[in-house]
Structure 1
Amino acid sequence: MSETVEPSGFPRIRPRRLRQGSAMRRMVAETRVHPSDLMLPMFVREGLDAPRPIPSMPGVMQHTRESLRKAVVAAAHAGVGGVMIFGVPAEKDATGSGAIDPDGIGNLALADVTAEVGDSLVVVSDLCLDEFTDHGHCGVLAADGSVDNDATLERYADMAIAQAQAGAHMLGASGMMDGQVGYVRTALDRAGFENTGVFAYAVKYSSAAFGPFREAVESALQGDRRSYQQDPANAREALREVELDVAEGADIVMVKPGLPYLDIIRAVSEHVTVPVAAYQVSGEYSMVEAAAANGWIDRERMMLESLVSIKRAGASIIATYWAEEAARLLREERF
């Protein structure tokens, strides 16, 4: 038997061969974000005569109805997959009556947007009361000041019908009330809106990263939402929430926030067969913008890297305030 010839001391297997040049890296990329994977959250404020910047979210605006129409057209042209509409009323009350009013800012904006873009974008509402209540909670309050789950479901049902009538393609059930998906699904079906989808915020953590959003919707929150939003310490509970929402008829389930909960996104994506979304929330956005403004990071690279990480974790849909800009960069193959 001939003696085995040993290779030289240099490595024969060189993974770096597949990293030589942008064309090679694109060809072997395991994860890709497409512009249509992205959803753009947008705010429309009643009573404005011009778009108003949100100080804690550089580059994000409270829109007028007219500027919102123009902005959704721009998003459609960029190739974004969908938009999420948040209405901010001039007046709020204890029951969030503006959320149900057909002439309330949220419902008028949904009608404006769907009339403008038709089926070229998926239009998702925000089915929650926090923008409309003077106490800032996601539901109506009981006499002791706690959020009354079942009374809130009644309001959600009315809100769902109003949003479906306004033309929303999907209703973003975001309040984290027990049974909300099933209650809304039943209300929609009974009213003849069986083709209106439910986009369930199935796993919404009680996170410190929501701060800038609360400025954007002018939240008057008193206390906190830990009695209904999920404890950041819990992971198995997330799977239970997802199972319940899917059983109740959710068409899409979402994890919120995104980057701090990549493990949850992965677990959820392996657990269900419906599409999984993630919301890259205001605090995630603002931290990157602040660091970039100080020259500490490359803004565009960090933006795109963060989106790839969320997609790699298992989300097929990503709600992000960078959606339009990121869509343009992705079309230019900047990542």
Structure 2
Amino acid sequence: MRSAFAVGALLVTVFVVVLSTGAISTVVEGDRAADTARAMSMSCNAALGPVTSGPAGSGALDAAKLTEEQRGNVALIISIGKQRELPPLAWQVAIQAGMTESGLRSLNYGDRDSLGIFQMRPSMGWGTPAQVTDPVYAINKFYDVLGSVPNWKEQRPGDSAQDVERSAFPTRYHRWEAMAAHLIGNVGAVQDPTGCGQGVGNLLPAPTAAAGSAIQFALAQQGKPYQWGAATTHQNSFDCSSLMLQSYRSAGVMLPRTSREQWKAGAYLPVEQAQPGDLLFWAYDTSNPATIHHVAMYLGDGKIVEAQQTGVPVHIRPVRFNEAELMPQAVRPGV
């Protein structure tokens, strides 16, 4: 959140949550970074990746390994995106696609007749071999096709990359989320690439206005049935991560679909310091986030709201910070 984390210069007033007979009152003042993002019509998109530093990393380590050629292509992706007045999310999609397809290199070889940064195939109408191996042409062509993808601004960037590339391995583009988010902030000089606010170092962003709205949505779903893999287009039933996704989406913050992906969608803090609206996670091995299997929303006062399992409707229950399988960090979505 930029200067919001300078000593003595907090721009966000921590909200007060009062938990009484199931009612929660929330008083928050939105931070300046989020207000600026809204003014630029940039919706908060936590699915862009964890741009804050934290135990799971921020993408900086992967970015530091890029060669001069790779960073040059990143700079070109961002430069052309800016010239075309495309939002940072478009740059994010292109960087993830390019890193996945070619390692952000303009290759003169590939699977069958695939060529260039995005492994475009001349036989499929992407252009001539000379064109698709020209980085400027390839980047512009990628943006042209991305612009024709319905709802590309509302979905996870790796999913949009797949919609353009149509790979036989549709989930592989998610691998580079954090690195791409770091690059659009670092190379693209966008201080707040997600539009949600950005933490600095080990300082933790304050609770957001979105958290209060997300809590209200989640509480309103109490009593509705659990359904594994529940659709996120209705509110008839929920699984654990769909409840979190829809709760924060109602507040203008986009989260990834699964609990393991949601672990990467915000700032980290010790679980004992969790505040209302923060997400708590459970894993089979608490030292390995890849084993996360459950997520719930902390309400304060030692309580969570969750969609727990089949046969148990959405409910509030007490939580102990030392209970089995609870991850030692909580996540503050969108910051």
TM-score norm. by structure 1 comes to 0.27
Structure with greater helix percent: 1
Q: Which structure exhibits the higher relative contact order, with contacts defined as CA atoms closer than 8 Å and separated by 6 or more residues?
A: 2
